[in-house]
Structure 1
Amino acid sequence: MNTSPAGLEAQPTAITYELGDLVPLAWGGRIRVPHFQRDFRWQSQDVMRLFDSIVKGYPIGNLLLWVRRQQAEEFMLGKLRLIAPPHDESLWVVDGQQRLISLANALSAEGHQYKPFTVYYDLAEKEFVENPKIPEPYHVALPTLFDLKKLLTWFRTDGLAASEYFDEAERVATALRQYKVPAYLVRQDDRDVLTDIFDRMNNYGRRLNRAEIFSALYSGEEKGANERLTLTRISDNVAARTGFGSIDTGTVLASVLARRGSDPMRDIRLEFSSSGRRTQPEFPDEDQLTAYSQGEEALVRAVRFLIQEAGMPHISLLPYRALLVTLTRFFAHFPQPKPNNIRLLRRLFWRLSLVGPMVFKGSFTLFSRTLGSKIRPGDEEGSLRSMLDTISEAHPVLPSADRFRTNEATTKIILSAWWSLHPRSLTTGEILDAQSLDALLEQDRTAANAAPMVFPRLKDSRTKLLPANRLFLPSGADPVSEIPGALAYQPLDIDDETWNAVLASHLLDRDIAALADTNREEFLNLRQRRILQQLEDFLKRMAEWEYEDTPSLDTLDLDGEFQEFQEGDLPAAPDMD
Structure 2
Amino acid sequence: MVSALTYQAEHADTLTDRISGIRESIADSGFGDVAAEPVFQTIVAITGEDDVQGARWTALADRVGNTLDGIVGQAEVALHRAVRFLRYEAGVPVAWLVPYPQQLTLLALFFHHRPDPDGAQGRALVRWFWNISWSTAFVGGNAFQLRRALHHIRAYATGRAPLRLPGQQPQPLPERFDTEDGRVRAFLLWELNHFGQRYGLDGEPIDLVDLLARSGPAAYRRIVTGTRDAASIANRIVLPTPPGTPVRDALLNLPLKLLRPLTVSHGIPPAALAQLLADHREDFIRERTAALDSLEQQFIQQIGGEANTWNTSQEDGS
Q: Does the 8 Å contact 1:454/1:470 carry over to 2?
A: yes
Q: Does 1:539 align with 2:300?
A: yes
Post-superposition offset of 1:547: 10
Please name the residue that 1:451 is paired with: 220
Q: Does 1:467 align with 2:254?
A: no
Q: Does 1:261 align with 2:41?
A: no
Q: 1:548 to 1:459 in 2, by over 3 A?
A: closer
Code of the residue aligned with 1:512 in structure 2: it is: A
Q: Does the 8 Å contact 2:7/2:15 carry over to 1?
A: no
Describe the superposition over 1:526-550 as per-residue Cα deviations: whole angstroms up to 9, x where unpaired.
2111121122123233445369734
Code of the residue aligned with 2:48 in structure 1: it is: G
- In structure 1, stretches of 5+ residues that fail to align are 1-212, 275-283, 442-446, 554-573
Please name the residue that 1:407 is paired with: 180
RMSD between superposed Cα atoms in Å: 3.3
In 2, the alpha carbon distance for the partners of 1:354 and 1:261 equals 28
Q: 1:238 to 1:261 in 2, by over 3 A?
A: same
Q: Does the 8 Å contact 2:24/2:33 carry over to 1?
A: yes
Identity, % of aligned positions: 24
Q: 1:226 to 1:376 in 2, by over 3 A?
A: closer
Q: 1:376 to 1:254 in 2, by over 3 A?
A: closer
Post-superposition offset of 1:381: 3.8
Counterpart of 1:513 (choices 264, 269, 273) is: 273
Q: Does the 8 Å contact 1:306/1:312 carry over to 2?
A: yes
Counterparts of residues 296-335 of structure 1 (less than 5 Å): 296-335=76-115
Describe the superposition over 1:61-98 as per-residue Cα deviations: whole angstroms up to 9, x where unpaired.
xxxxxxxxxxxxxxxxxxxxxxxxxxxxxxxxxxxxxx
Post-superposition offset of 1:311: 1.8
Q: 1:490 to 1:433 in 2, by over 3 A?
A: same
SS at match of 1:452: strand
Post-superposition offset of 1:353: 2.0
In 2, the alpha carbon distance for the partners of 1:356 and 1:228 equals 30
Between Structure 1 and Structure 2, which shows a larger proportion of helix residues? 2
- In structure 2, stretches of 5+ residues that fail to align are none
Post-superposition offset of 1:287: 2.4
Post-superposition offset of 1:342: 0.7
SS at match of 1:273: helix
In 2, the alpha carbon distance for the partners of 1:294 and 1:480 equals 48
Code of the residue aligned with 1:309 in structure 2: it is: E
Q: 1:434 to 1:245 in 2, by over 3 A?
A: same
Counterparts of residues 303-382 of structure 1 (less than 5 Å): 303-357=83-137, 362-376=140-154, 380-382=158-160
Counterpart of 2:35 (choices 244, 248, 264) is: 248
Q: 1:547 to 1:364 in 2, by over 3 A?
A: closer
Q: Does the 8 Å contact 1:229/1:292 carry over to 2?
A: no
In 1, the alpha carbon distance for the partners of 2:187 and 2:42 equals 26
Q: 1:500 to 1:373 in 2, by over 3 A?
A: same
Post-superposition offset of 1:336: 0.9
Q: Does the 8 Å contact 1:381/1:551 carry over to 2?
A: no
Q: Does 1:482 align with 2:246?
A: yes
TM-score relative to the length of structure 1: 0.49
Q: Does the 8 Å contact 1:246/1:315 carry over to 2?
A: yes
Post-superposition offset of 1:499: 5.8
SS at match of 2:82: helix
Between Structure 1 and Structure 2, which shows a larger proportion of strand residues? 1
In 1, the alpha carbon distance for the partners of 2:309 and 2:13 equals 51
Q: Does the 8 Å contact 2:241/2:247 carry over to 1?
A: no
Q: 1:217 to 1:368 in 2, by over 3 A?
A: same
Point out the more displaced range, 330-339 or 499-508. Answer: 499-508
SS at match of 2:160: helix
